[in-house]
Amino acid sequence: MDMLHAKRITAVKQNLTAMKLCQTLICDPLSIWYLTGYYTEPFERFLALYLGTDEQNQRPDTLFCNVLFPDASSCFEHVITFSDTDNPIPLVAATCDSTNALGIDKMLTARWLLPLIDTQAAAGFCLASEAVDAARSLKDASEQNLMREASRVNDAAMSWLAAQVRPGVSERQIADGLLGEYRRLGAEDHSFAPIVSFGANAADPHHEPDDTVFQTGDMVLFDVGCKRNWYCSDMTRVFFTTTPSERQLLVYNTVRRANEAAAAVVKPGVTFAEIDLTARKVIEDAGFGPYFTHRLGHQIGLQDHEPGDVSASHHEPVQVGQCFSIEPGIYIPGEIGVRIEDLVIVTEDGCEVINHYPHDVQVLAV
């Protein structure tokens, strides 16, 4: 195992100790990749990484893999394999310390958990996803660079998206063409299904692109992200296609001010709730409070939405290396929807906004 993965496993074990746990079973394929460098998509088959904190009990950290999966021996020292006709549960139970509680993650399905309970593989079972989630939340320097690169691609793709807006084009046509542009720019895939919204469709924060055809004068919202070298990007921008009205400008500039005010207060020690409330106050003071209907943001990394939201109910302080979205919005049904979203990385004395596509009011020539 290389030093990077060993360091990450040590961080998870420290988190387990703080949770008063001495063992855990990790089933999230992305978390297993994060900790070992090994990735496979198991689908219905069993895949798990066992980690223990008590080195005296002779229970080695173990990766459980079906023989149909790619060979994991080059990534991890102790691998136990099994076939489709084998039951992996006794293998896991033999590895676990039955006298202590076993942490499990949110990806372990009832299909595997219930037999583990029935076999008394551990003295108890508890959700321990936080042990890995907290480690993944703190991005090291190399991860931060990968996040910047993914956002660089997303910035470039936004220019391509704006250029696709023309009379007669549908939301679905633009959304369907985006993956090819991402790949041309060096990304591998979407980090989530793209949102393309024309006109009043933007008042639905999670509108799915459909056959709505662009009409000159529509406002256009793009909420898109790519995955490059495992790491995700996410950004939202809104464009005008005719001179905006005073009300449209008021809504747009209110959201812009909320976004920029929130980014300005981010620094170590400030709570996620304080960041959310900073943006929310700007929108409430402008009279649009009831139309900001979601949390301010979410953490991001190997997945577009990772645990640790930016909301009024999250009172933990932000930490150096965390990366999350700031995406205030105003959604007036049947009329207008505006969201401006950037990703930030927390630094020693503030934050770095890693999206560089401008916030300026832009009127497309269509």
In the chain, the number of structural domains is: 2
Residue 237 forms part of a structural domain = yes
Last residue of a domain, one of 136, 166, 181: 136
Cβ distance 165 to 60 under 8 Å? Answer: no
Give mean pLDDT in consecutive 10-residue pieces for the chain, a chain of 366 residues: 92 97 97 98 97 80 97 95 97 96 96 97 97 98 98 98 97 98 98 98 97 97 98 98 97 98 98 98 98 98 97 98 98 97 98 98 95
23 shares its domain with 122: yes
Q: Does residue 56 share a domain with residue 156?
A: no
Within-domain flag for 239: yes
Is residue 364 assigned to a domain?
no
The pLDDT assigned to 288 comes to 98
How far is 90 from 79, CA to CA, in rounded Å? 15
- Nearest in space to 276 (alpha carbons), one of 326, 238, 233, 321: 326
Supply the CATH number for residue 18's domain: 3.40.350.10
- Report how far apart the first and last C-alpha atoms of the chain are (Å, whole number): 55
Whether 362 is in a domain gets the answer no
Question: Do 92 and 188 reside in the same domain of the chain?
Answer: no
Give the per-residue pLDDT at 1.
74
Q: In terms of C-beta density within 10 A (0-12 exposed, 13-18 middle, 19 or more buried), how is residue 111 classed? A: exposed
Asked if residue 281 and residue 168 are part of one domain, the reply reads yes
Which residue segment(s) compose the domain that 60 sits in? Answer: 3-136
In a domain, 366, yes or no: no
Do 341 and 248 fall into the same domain? yes
Q: Give the per-residue pLDDT at 56.
A: 58
The answer on 291 and 188 residing in a single domain is: yes
Q: Same domain, yes or no, for 120 and 130?
A: yes
Boundary-marking domain end, from 136, 162, 192: 136
Q: Which two tokens stand for residue 284?
A: 């409430």
Residue 66 inside a domain? The answer is: yes
HEC letters along the chain: CCHHHHHHHHHHHHHHHHCCCCEEEECCHHHHHHHHCCCCCCCCCCCEEEEECCHHHCCCCEEEEECCCCCCCCCCCCEEEECCCCCHHHHHHHHCCCCCEEEECCCCCHHHHHHHHHCCCCCEEEECHHHHHHHHHCCCHHHHHHHHHHHHHHHHHHHHHHHCCCCCCEHHHHHHHHHHHHHHCCCCEECCCCEEEEHHHHHCCCCCCCCCECCCCCCEEEEECEEECCEECCEEEEEECCCCCHHHHHHHHHHHHHHHHHHHHCCCCCEHHHHHHHHHHHHHHCCCHHHCCCCCEEECCCCCCEEEEECCCCCCECCCCCEEEECCEEEECCCEEEECEEEEEECCCCEEECCCCCCCCCECCC
Same domain, 80 and 181: no
Do both 39 and 164 map to the same domain? no
CATH number at residue 188: 3.90.230.10
Q: Is residue 361 part of a domain?
A: no
Residue at a domain's end among 103, 136, 169: 136
Do residue 98 and residue 169 come from a single domain?
no
Same domain, 124 and 149: no
Residue 254 is assigned to a structural domain of this protein: yes
Domain match, 116 and 158 both: no
